């Protein structure tokens, strides 16, 4: 039976542990695809082009926006981020599910696009990762010891805006205990293969 893959739109504030959680889920579900986003920011130490992000010059990013190559794109702080349509549609049409780790702005763009695109509407689910509290999130951000006080302040402001949008998503996972959250996310992601929207309408036709 040929199923349509699922586009799993995953959002949550900086410092909530999205990357760690996705890494744990991928250990349990190695078949799970991952969408590599484009960004105009400079690579951080250890980041590689085509592995962690596609690092684009601002002019190249704008050219791709004008060409309609993004399924979503957004301004985050001083940089641009976006997801290429080809990164997700090719995978779901082959029956593979793919995770999009994007901010709330981008997620809402995809939700709006899905309202006018039956294929996107059938394939997409929205999952929000939240911290136990804002105080816990602040401790995690300060524990990184890699951001300045100004960067921490900006990230906390952004986090509060994003946390206000949690109920615009289909599912909420609270990352308090990492093992528990990873188990919950793995079970949730596995359940997406059972969605009736992913199954051909002629399944029981003779």
Domains of the chain: 7-197 (3.40.50.300)
Residue ranges in 124-203 assigned as alpha helix (H): 134-143, 149-163, 178-191
Question: What pLDDT, on the 0 to 100 scale, is given for residue 63?
Answer: 97
Question: What pLDDT, on the 0 to 100 scale, is given for residue 1?
Answer: 66
- For residues 111 and 168, the answer to whether their CB atoms sit within 8 Å is yes
Question: What pLDDT, on the 0 to 100 scale, is given for residue 179?
Answer: 96
- For residues 164 and 205, the answer to whether their CB atoms sit within 8 Å is no
- For residues 135 and 178, the answer to whether their CB atoms sit within 8 Å is no
Question: What pLDDT, on the 0 to 100 scale, is given for residue 177?
Answer: 94
Provide the b/e sequence for 143-158 (b: ≥16 CB within 10 Å): eeeeeeeeebeebbeb
Q: From first to last of its 206 residues, what are the pLDDT tens digits of the chain?
A: 678 899 999 999 988 989 899 999 999 999 998 889 899 999 999 999 999 999 999 999 999 999 988 999 988 778 999 999 888 988 999 999 999 988 898 899 999 888 888 888 999 999 999 999 988 888 888 777 677 888 888 888 888 999 999 999 999 999 999 999 999 999 999 999 999 988 888 888 76
Cα separation of 183 and 203, whole Å?
Answer: 31
Question: What pLDDT, on the 0 to 100 scale, is given for residue 206?
Answer: 66
Cα separation of 70 and 77, whole Å?
Answer: 19
Long-range CB contact pairs, 40-48, < 8 A, 24+: 40/79, 40/80, 40/81, 41/78, 41/79
- Residue 47: CB atoms within 10 A of its CB come to 13
Cα separation of 119 and 66, whole Å?
Answer: 22
């Amino acid at each position: 039976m040929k199923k349509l893959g699922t586009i799993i739109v995953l959002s949550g504030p900086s410092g909530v542990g999205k990357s760690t959680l996705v890494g744990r889920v991928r250990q349990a579900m190695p078949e799970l695809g991952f969408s590599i986003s484009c960004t105009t920011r400079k690579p951080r130490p250890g980041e590689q082009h085509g592995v962690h992000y596609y690092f684009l010059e601002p002019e190249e990013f704008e050219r791709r926006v004008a060409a309609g190559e993004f399924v979503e794109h957004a301004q985050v702080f001083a940089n641009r981020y976006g997801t290429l349509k080809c990164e997700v549609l090719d995978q779901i049409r082959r029956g593979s599910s793919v995770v999009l780790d994007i901010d709330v702005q981008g997620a809402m763009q995809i939700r709006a696009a899905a309202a006018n695109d039956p294929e996107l509407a059938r394939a997409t689910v929205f999952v929000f990762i939240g911290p136990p509290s804002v105080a816990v999130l602040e401790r995690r951000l300060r524990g990184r010891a890699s951001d300045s006080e100004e960067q921490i302040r900006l990230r906390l402001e952004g986090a509060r805006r994003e946390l206000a949008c949690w109920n615009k998503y289909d599912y909420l996972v609270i990352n308090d205990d990492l093992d528990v959250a990873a188990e919950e996310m793995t079970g949730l992601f596995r359940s997406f293969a059972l969605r009736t929207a992913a199954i051909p309408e002629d399944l029981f036709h003779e």
